[in-house]
Amino acid sequence: MSTQKIASVGNSQNGNDRPSNAPETVNPRKNAVVRILKQGAIGWVLLALCVVAYIATPYFLTVDNMIIVARQTALVGIVAVGMTFVILTAGIDLSVGAVVGLTAVSVSYCLANGFGIGTALAAGVAVGLLVGALNGVGVNLAKVPPFIMTLGMMTIARGLALTMSNGKPIGVGAEAEIFSWIGAGDVLGIPVPVLIFAVVAGAAAFVLRYTSFGRAVYAVGDNREAARLSGIRVKRTLFIVYVIAGLLAALTGIIYVSRLTVGEPTAGMSLELDAIAIVVIGGTSLFGGQGKISGTIIGAAIVTVLSNLLDLLAVSSFTQQIIKGVIVIAAVILERVQNRHAND
């Protein structure tokens, strides 16, 4: 009698008809509940944070404060959407904050010198496209590591912004009242930046889920060599994601200068760190190939609500930076632990 038959007979004698090498029976309903809880964990974090904020200060749920939170979420969220594309390919873009500043200065410079709103907007978009394209070329053709390439572009863009403005804010001039609608206006009570963020996030989610380019982004981040062998144009994909990141950073810069009606060369300072924190907190893997725009949206809300709560509690900006850093590190560690368990 074979060993397998002996094992089967032994199991039957013990009153267990299941072969010894068969997987244990699990409750599919229980598995579904666990999966839903895991997928919605970040949403529960946001809800818990809102409850804490409501208990900690009576000013959190006021209408004015909710509008502030929504506007801030939109500003950082748009940049974070672009960062999501880059990180999904296992890259990084440290230049987005400086692009916001350079765009703000470029737009305000055009308006202050009478070039008109159309020209100013075109100049802002051109800044984002140019920086994004240079990042894409540097990473693809020159083979410069994304961290180094975008760090260099961050320094260049910030230097250009300071040079153009002589280190001083530039007012938008006579076009201020009309131009300010983009950043400070509303439609049926909904702030315009929030509507722009909704369109950007919706379009990004559609692209990543339903288009061949979106599938290419995930494939490149998961295994670049395998993606190349399967016929995916890896270099083109990487180039486009950096252009997207630059373009969305420029859009944020336009909203920023429109809201304040002044272009500050230091606008967007450290925004790249906030964007990275948002993407990581939202569940996108820093190692590429895993993540969703929905997670980025919730991550943006978490970071904004946390910052708003700390502001309402009069916590210093220096301490807030420490807290954000700890959160990013904790999110990365949690991701590594989850991946380790998933592979076991």
Per residue in 163-193, pLDDT (tens digit) is 999 989 998 876 777 888 888 888 988 999 9
Per residue in 240-286, pLDDT (tens digit) is 999 999 999 999 999 999 998 888 999 988 899 899 989 998 889 88
**CB atoms closer than 10 angstroms to residue 175:** 19
Please identify every stretch of the chain with a pLDDT value under 70, giving residue numbers as ranges: 1-40, 174, 335, 338-344
Q: What is the Cα–Cα distance from 177 to 261, expressed in whole angstroms? A: 8
- If you write DSSP's letter for every residue of 34-58 in order, what string do you get? HHHHHHTHHHHHHHHHHHHHHHH-T
Q: What 3-state DSSP class applies to 160?
A: helix
The pLDDT, as a whole number, for residue 343 is 59
Closest listed residue to residue 308, CA positions, set 11, 277, 300, 223: 300
Segment holding 171, helix H or strand E? strand 170-171
Beta bridge partners of 186: 191
The pLDDT, as a whole number, for residue 27 is 52
**CB atoms closer than 10 angstroms to residue 328:** 20
- If you write DSSP's letter for every residue of 268-329 in order, what string do you get? TTTHHHHHHHHHHHTT--TTSS---HHHHHHHHHHHHHHHHHHHHTT--HHHHHHHHHHHHH
Torsion over CA: 76, 82, 84, 90 (sign): negative
Closest listed residue to residue 78, CA positions, set 243, 204, 258: 204
Residue the block writes with tokens 């320094």: 155
Q: What is the Cα–Cα distance from 321 to 298, expressed in whole angstroms? A: 20
The pLDDT, as a whole number, for residue 344 is 57
The pLDDT, as a whole number, for residue 35 is 46
The one-character DSSP state at 130 is H
